[in-house]
């Protein structure tokens, strides 16, 4: 039987996994700038939407809780009103504009999404007081150092990886992670302690 003990920053080998971005609907009406400040204080930033999978995550975060305009993290570029930038500086060209948007009104700088308009995006006046969606990103890769003690560890294999993944999911609270062994400089994964 294998007993797993997790020790952060000490141990025999590392486990790396991806922490997916989490999306949070905040049903507290604020201006775009206030929403951005709130998201940066409580989470990471207003949500940036990189693809349709992210749009689905926005829909899931909002659910049936709200059926009107809400802020996302897209804003017109300060020097070129035809360009838009993500609040979190994400490098994504994905757009999901509604009919006639974005328009050329220089006062409409901030971007909303509306479930009643097929979740399409619209540029709007930034001082509207509406709810918003935040994202929380702990980082792309998290590394844990793990120490394994076992009676007969001749073959640490996929079963061991699955046991570690279970501990990480259940005790550390990271869902949907990908675990892989880290290879040491000498080419080995495991070292006897």
Predicted TM-score of the model (pTM): 0.64
Model confidence at 171: pLDDT above 80: no
Q: How many domains does the chain have?
A: 2
Model confidence at 138: pLDDT above 90: no
- pLDDT at res. 167: 65
Give mean pLDDT, residues 10-23: 58
Same domain, 65 and 80: yes
User: What are 27-58's pLDDT values in tens digits?
Assistant: 999 999 999 999 999 999 999 999 999 999 99
Model confidence at 76: pLDDT above 80: yes
Same domain, 125 and 148: no
* Mean pLDDT of all residues belonging to the chain: 78
Same domain, 119 and 155: no
Model confidence at 89: pLDDT above 60: yes
Q: Is residue 193 part of a domain?
A: no
User: What are 113-132's pLDDT values in tens digits?
Assistant: 999 999 999 999 999 999 99
Model confidence at 80: pLDDT above 70: yes
Same domain, 89 and 57: yes
C-alpha dihedral sign at 131, 56, 103, 73: positive
Cβ pair 20, 168 in contact under 8 A: no
Same domain, 57 and 142: no
Model confidence at 140: pLDDT above 70: no
Q: pLDDT tier at 20 (50, 70, 90 boundaries)?
A: confident
CATH label of the domain that carries residue 93? 3.10.100.10
Q: Is residue 155 part of a domain?
A: yes
| Cα–Cα distance for residue pair 36/11, rounded to 1 Å | 40
Q: Which domain, by its residues, includes 142? A: 2-19+138-181
Q: Is residue 67 part of a domain?
A: yes
């Amino acid at each position: 039987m294998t007993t797993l003990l997790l020790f952060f920053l000490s141990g025999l080998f590392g486990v790396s996994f991806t922490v997916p971005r989490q999306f949070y609907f905040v049903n507290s009406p604020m201006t775009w700038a206030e929403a951005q400040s709130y998201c940066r204080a409580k989470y990471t930033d207003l949500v940036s939407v990189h693809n349709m999978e992210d749009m689905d995550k926005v829909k899931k975060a909002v659910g049936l809780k709200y059926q009107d305009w809400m802020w996302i993290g897209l804003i017109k570029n300060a020097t070129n009103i035809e360009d838009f930038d993500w609040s979190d500086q994400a490098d994504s060209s994905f757009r999901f504009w509604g009919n006639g948007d974005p328009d050329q009104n220089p006062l409409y700088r901030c971007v909303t999404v509306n479930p009643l308009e097929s979740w399409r995006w619209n540029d709007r006046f930034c001082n509207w007081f509406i709810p918003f969606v935040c994202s929380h990103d702990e980082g792309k890769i998290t590394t844990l150092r793990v120490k394994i003690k076992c009676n007969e560890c001749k073959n640490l294999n996929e079963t061991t990886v699955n046991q570690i993944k279970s501990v990480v999911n259940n005790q550390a609270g990271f869902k949907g992670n990908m675990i892989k062994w880290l290879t040491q400089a000498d080419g080995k994964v495991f070292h006897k302690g």
